[in-house]
Amino acid sequence: AEDLIATRVTSPRHLGIQGGSNGGLLVGAVMLQRPELFGAVVCQVPLLDMRRYHRLLAGASWMAEYGNPDLDAEWAWIAGYSPYQKLLDLPQGQALPPVLFTTSTRDDRVHPGHARKMAARMLAMGHGPLYFENTEGGHAGAADNRQKADMLALEYAFLWQALGD
């Protein structure tokens, strides 16, 4: 993002990021670490609460990858990027790019509570996230091609509106 901006390929106002699952963790973390770089964020079926991820659905099976947040030494470095917890570290009045969270009630890998809690905390802090939860679809977020087309239309319409002139 820095290079695209520095070389004038684009500007933050026209640069969006999108990611799902572990990519949702990535865009959630980047949105909070470098909000000035982006004009919009699409965060799909995201892993966001790294303090409790291992207690929800398949989360315990990822501890070799992410670490054990119940161990102080491991939590110390996980806390450095955990989006749900990092929200509380934002300076008062810090602007964030527009964000759309999408999830699925039937996701059996990343619990929809991650997106629910993140959107609720952002609202409570005065940010205006958008949120969509499909009642079907599992970790893919959509159960069939019609739902996938609807999800893509929702995401691209959000990006078009957030990043357009």
Active site residues: 21, 139
Q: What is the DSSP string of 37-51?
A: G-SEEEEES----TT
**CB-based contacts of 37, cutoff 8 Å, min separation 6:** 1, 2, 5, 12, 15, 30
- Which residue, chain included where needed, has tokens 């059996």? 108
Instruction: Please give the torsion angle defined by the CA atoms of residues 85, 115, 17 and 51, in that order, rounded to the nearest 10 degrees.
Output: 30
- For residue 41, list its beta bridge partners: 17, 99
CB 17 within 8 A of CB 27: yes
Measuring CA to CA, how many Å separate 109 from each of 55, 58, 137, 150?
Answer: 12, 5, 12, 22
Instruction: Report the distance separating Cα 93 and Cα 95, nearest Å.
Output: 6
Taking only Cα atoms into account, the Rg of the chain, rounded to an integer number of angstroms, comes to 16
